[in-house]
Amino acid sequence: MELRRNRNSVFQIGYHIVWCVKYRKQVLTGPLADDLKELLLQIAQENNFSIEQMEIMPDHVHLFITATPNHLIASMIKALKGVSARFLFKKHPELKKQLWGGHLWNPSYYVGTVGHISEEIVKKYIESQRTGD
């Protein structure tokens, strides 16, 4: 990950994001998975963040996203999951038969931050900044 800059900050922000299909149904295959990949890239571009790596598994999605400090993780995930669900249900109406209740995605998700330094190094650096010790 490269250092990036905007008007008032220098940053390196990356997220590993995972979310699952409702009921862990294995529906993300074939043309549906291809449509989802295209759509997620489009959503990211429209919202000014980048999907650096993506893997669509039959029952869940893995993304590595880079963003600016102005991006809220919850807002990015809401856009990705919300827009993709609406589009896929419209383009693939057979999904509604497999997923009762009208929801494509499980409401929860995993997010982990990714950086070039470890938690231990950050803590040691901050501790070393004390004056008078």
* CATH classification for the domain delimited by 4-128, as one of 3.20.20.140, 3.30.70.1290, 3.40.190.10, 3.40.50.300: 3.30.70.1290
Q: Say what the pLDDT of residue 125 is.
A: 79
Q: To the nearest whole number, what is the mean pLDDT of the chain?
A: 92
Do residues 71 and 127 make contact, with C-beta atoms less than 8 angstroms apart? no
Work out the pLDDT band at 59, boundaries 50, 70, 90.
very high
| Residue 94: both structure tokens together | 């057979």
Cα(6)–Cα(4) distance, integer angstroms: 7
Q: Say what the pLDDT of residue 117 is.
A: 79
Q: Say what the pLDDT of residue 48 is.
A: 94
**Catalytic-role residue among 23, 109, 110, 125:** 125
Question: Is residue 15 pLDDT above 90, yes or no?
Answer: yes
Quick count: other Cβ atoms within 10 Å of Cβ 133? 6
Percentage of residues of the chain with pLDDT beyond 90:
73
Do residues 67 and 80 make contact, with C-beta atoms less than 8 angstroms apart? no
pLDDT digits (tens, 9 = 90+) for 82-128: 999 999 999 999 898 888 778 999 999 999 998 877 778 888 877 88
Q: Extract the runs of DSSP E, i.e. beta strands, from the chain.
A: 4-6, 9-11, 13-20, 50-56, 60-67, 110-114
Q: Say what the pLDDT of residue 131 is.
A: 59
**3-class state of residue 93 by DSSP:** coil
Give yes or no: 125 in active site: yes
